[in-house]
C-alpha cells in the first residue's frame, strides 16, 4: 500500500485547523492509502508554532522591513487575547492523539530530504498555510524537503487578496516547484495565475469532503433541553455587531452557546454559556444548533455540512480583508445572501438546502477526482 504524508501542524488550538487535517487524512485513507500527518520536531510551544528557524527568519525579515513591526505586534496581541481553558486544551490534545496518526522528524532529516524517501507522495494542505502576508514563507508548507515529483498541494488558502512584494519571490519559486497545485478560493486562483502564469483548480476544503454521517461518528453531542444559537467568533465582535446579534437573539428567544470569544454586550441581556469545547464538541454544538452566527470559515462550513441555518458575519478586525474565504464558498453554493456586512440585518430567512446539497455533491466529486489523479501520478 502506498504511503502518503500530510504536512501540517496539529498542535494549534483552532477547530478548523485541526479538523481539516483530520478530514484530509480520512479522505486519503478512504482512497486506499496509508496516511499520516508529519511535522518537524523542535517546536518551542505546546499550542502554537514557534520553531527556532521560524523565529530567526521572522526576526531577520523584521530588521529589513521595520514597517511590518506594527502588524506583528498586533498579531501577538491577538494571540494573547485568546487564553483558553486547560480543559479545552486537553480536549484538543485528546482528539489529535486519538484521531490523527502523526510522525515527527528532526529538522536535519527534513533538510537533507531523507524523509522524502519514506513516502510515495506528500500533500500540503489545507487552511491558510500559504498566507501571503506571513513574515515566514515556510518551506515545510511548500514541501521543499520532498522530491519535486512527489509534491501535491490540496486546497491551500492564500488568506489575502494580494501578495506583498516581500513574499513574491519566494512564493513564486516554491509554487512553481509543485507539480500538482489546487487552491481553496477563487482569489487564490487569481493570485497564483498572476504570480506564476499557472491556471490551478479551485477545490473544496477537506472538511466538506466528509458527509455529516461520517462526522457523526466522532462528534460529541451537547445534551441541551433548550434550543440554542451558536455564536462562534474568531475575535470579539464590535459593540455594534454584538447589538445586532442581540436583537436577533432576543427575537428568537433562544439561549446562546458562545465559542472562542466573549460577548460582553450580549451576556448582559440574554443567557450566554461559555463551555469548554474541543473539536468533537464543536461539531456537536453546530450539528444541533437552531442558528449559527459566525465570522469563522469553518464555522460556516460545518453549518453547511449539517444543513443549519446560519449567517456568515463579516470580520471587522485586523488590517487585511479576509472575506474571500467565506465569499468563495457562498458563491459556489449560491448562498451569497448569507454574508452579513456591517450595514446588513440578521433575519430568519431560511436556506434551501436541497439545492445547496446538489451543488456540494457535484463539487465533492470534482475535488476527489483531482486528489485521486494527483496521488496516482
Q: What angle do CA 188, 190, 194 make, to 5 degrees?
A: 115
258 - beta bridge partners? 231
pLDDT at 76 over 60: no
Angle between helices 279-287 and 15-30 (to 10 degrees): 90
Q: What angle do CA 362, 291, 241 make, to 5 degrees?
A: 110
Q: Give the C-alpha separation, 198 to 91, whole Å.
A: 41
Q: Give the C-alpha separation, 172 to 9, whole Å.
A: 23
pLDDT at 105 over 60: yes
The bridge status of strand 339-340 relative to strand 309-313 is: parallel
- pLDDT, mean over the chain: 91
* Structure-model confidence comparison of residues 377 and 201, the more confident one: 201
Strand order across the beta sheet in which 255-259 lies: 272-273, 255-259, 228-232, 291-294, 309-313, 339-340
C-alpha to C-alpha distances, 348 to 195, 247, 292, 313, nearest whole angstrom = 42, 12, 11, 14
pTM: 0.93
Quick one: average pLDDT of 145-174?
95
**All cell numbers assigned to 181:** 497545485
For residue 217, what pLDDT is reported? Answer: 97
CA 185 remoteness from chain centre: 12
Nearest Cα residue to 154 out of 129, 119, 124, 190: 124
Position 323 confidence tier, pLDDT thresholds 50, 70, 90: confident
Helix (H, G, I), strand (E, B) or coil at 34: strand
C-beta separation of 252 from 290 below 8 A: yes
Residues 6+ apart with CB under 8 A from 66: none
Mean pLDDT lowest among 58-62, 144-148, 169-173, 339-343: 58-62
For residue 84, what pLDDT is reported? Answer: 84
**All cell numbers assigned to 331:** 458563491
pLDDT at 81 over 70: no
Amino acid at each position: 500500500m502506498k504511503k502518503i504524508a500530510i504536512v501540517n501542524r496539529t498542535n494549534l488550538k483552532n477547530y478548523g485547523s485541526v479538523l481539516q487535517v483530520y478530514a484530509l487524512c480520512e479522505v486519503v485513507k478512504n482512497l486506499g492509502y496509508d496516511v499520516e500527518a508529519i511535522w518537524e520536531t523542535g517546536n518551542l510551544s505546546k499550542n502554537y508554532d514557534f520553531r527556532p528557524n521560524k523565529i530567526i527568519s521572522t526576526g531577520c525579515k523584521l530588521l529589513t522591513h521595520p514597517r511590518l513591526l506594527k502588524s506583528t505586534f498586533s498579531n501577538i496581541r491577538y494571540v494573547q487575547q485568546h487564553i483558553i481553558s486547560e480543559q479545552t486544551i486537553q480536549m484538543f490534545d485528546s482528539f489529535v492523539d486519538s484521531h490523527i496518526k502523526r510522525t515527527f522528524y528532526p529538522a536535519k532529516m527534513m533538510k537533507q530530504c531523507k524523509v522524502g524517501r519514506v513516502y510515495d507522495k506528500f500533500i500540503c494542505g489545507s487552511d491558510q498555510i500559504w498566507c501571503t502576508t506571513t513574515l515566514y514563507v515556510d518551506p515545510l508548507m511548500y514541501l521543499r524537503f520532498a522530491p519535486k515529483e512527489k509534491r501535491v498541494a490540496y486546497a491551500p488558502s492564500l488568506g489575502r487578496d494580494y501578495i506583498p512584494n516581500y513574499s513574491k519571490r519566494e512564493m513564486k519559486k516554491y509554487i512553481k516547484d509543485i507539480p500538482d497545485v489546487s487552491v481553496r478560493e477563487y482569489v487564490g486562483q487569481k493570485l497564483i495565475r498572476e504570480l506564476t502564469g499557472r491556471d490551478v483548480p479551485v477545490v473544496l476544503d477537506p472538511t466538506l469532503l466528509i458527509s455529516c454521517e461520517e462526522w457523526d461518528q466522532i462528534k460529541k453531542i451537547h445534551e441541551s433541553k433548550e434550543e440554542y444559537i451558536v455564536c462562534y467568533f474568531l475575535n470579539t465582535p464590535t459593540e455594534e455587531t454584538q447589538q445586532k446579534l442581540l436583537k436577533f437573539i432576543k427575537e428568537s428567544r433562544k439561549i446562546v452557546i458562545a465559542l472562542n470569544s466573549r460577548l460582553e454586550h450580549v451576556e448582559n441581556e440574554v443567557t450566554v454559556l461559555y463551555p469548554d469545547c474541543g473539536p468533537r464538541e464543536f461539531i456537536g454544538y453546530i450539528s444541533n444548533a437552531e442558528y449559527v452566527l459566525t465570522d469563522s470559515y469553518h464555522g460556516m462550513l460545518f453549518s453547511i455540512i449539517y444543513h443549519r441555518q446560519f449567517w456568515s458575519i463579516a470580520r471587522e478586525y485586523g488590517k487585511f480583508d479576509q472575506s474571500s474565504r467565506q465569499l468563495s464558498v457562498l458563491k459556489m453554493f449560491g448562498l451569497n445572501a448569507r454574508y452579513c456586512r456591517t450595514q446588513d440585518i440578521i433575519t430568519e430567512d431560511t436556506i434551501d438546502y436541497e439545492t445547496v446539497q446538489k451543488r456540494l455533491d457535484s463539487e465533492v466529486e470534482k475535488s476527489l477526482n483531482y486528489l485521486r489523479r494527483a496521488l496516482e501520478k
